[in-house]
């Protein structure tokens, strides 16, 4: 995770396009400027960044299903529960699955686990739209190719 750059997913471990499922890993850094404010003397990953992490896992799954022809934008956090604190150095398993593939939108369910225990979960909705720029499309594809560990599977 590079929290300052909103790069939340470090690797994609499993991807099932037919089922609309993804498993990814996110490694919380030991150091980040985010921890200077959240919180002094008690560093914790902010809940909004955990939601972002679940959204990015969902997003990579949706992008893959869309063959990177369109971009999913987070539109609605239908629900989100933060069940446990997340501290520097922890390794997170991020799971997301497609709940509904609509016309121009998609809904997912996602959760983050640490050592097998669920620490947060959410229901998310995305608008599926044309990429606003070729640069973004290339950046998303490049990022996915760097983190995707399933390509050779």
Partner 1 sequence: MSSTFETVAGIISETSDIPLEDITPEKNAFTDLDIDSLDFLDIAFAIDKSFGIKIPLEKWTEELNENKASADDYFVLSKLCDRIDALVAAKDS
- Stretch of residues binding partner 1 (CB under 8 A), selected from 41-49, 71-79, 81-89, 142-150: 71-79
Binding residue for partner 1, selected from 19, 27, 36, 76, defined by CB under 8 A: 76
Helical ranges in 23-76 per DSSP H = 34-37, 47-65
The helix (H) or strand (E) run that includes residue 16 is strand 11-16
97 binds partner 1 (CB under 8 A): no
The helix (H) or strand (E) run that includes residue 134 is helix 134-147
Burial category of 4 from C-beta neighbours within 10 Å (exposed 0-12, middle 13-18, buried 19 and up): exposed
- Stretch of residues binding partner 1 (CB under 8 A), selected from 50-58, 60-68, 72-80, 131-139: 72-80
131 binds partner 1 (CB under 8 A): no
Q: Name which of 89 and 102 has its Cβ closer to partner 1.
A: 102
**Catalytic one among 7, 29, 38, 75?**
38
Q: Name which of 37 and 104 has its Cβ closer to partner 1.
A: 104
Please state, in angstroms and rounded to a whole number, the distance separating the CA atoms of residues 81 and 128. Answer: 25
Which token pair is 79?
A: 């629900």
Cite the active site residues.
38
């Amino acid at each position: 995770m590079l929290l300052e750059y909103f790069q939340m997913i470090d690797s994609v471990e499993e991807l099932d396009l037919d089922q609309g499922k993804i498993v990814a890993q996110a490694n919380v850094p030991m150091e980040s400027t985010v921890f200077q404010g959240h919180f002094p003397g008690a560093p914790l990953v902010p809940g909004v960044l955990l939601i972002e992490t679940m959204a990015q896992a969902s997003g990579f799954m949706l992008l893959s299903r869309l063959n990177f022809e369109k971009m999913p934008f987070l539109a609605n956090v239908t629900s989100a529960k933060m069940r446990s604190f997340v501290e520097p150095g922890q390794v997170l398993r991020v799971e997301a699955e497609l709940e509904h593939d609509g016309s121009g939108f998609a809904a997912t369910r996602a959760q983050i686990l640490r050592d097998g225990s669920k620490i947060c979960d959410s229901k998310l909705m995305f608008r599926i739209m044309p990429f606003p720029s070729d640069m973004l499309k290339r950046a998303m594809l490049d990022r996915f190719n760097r983190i995707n560990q399933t390509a050779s599977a």
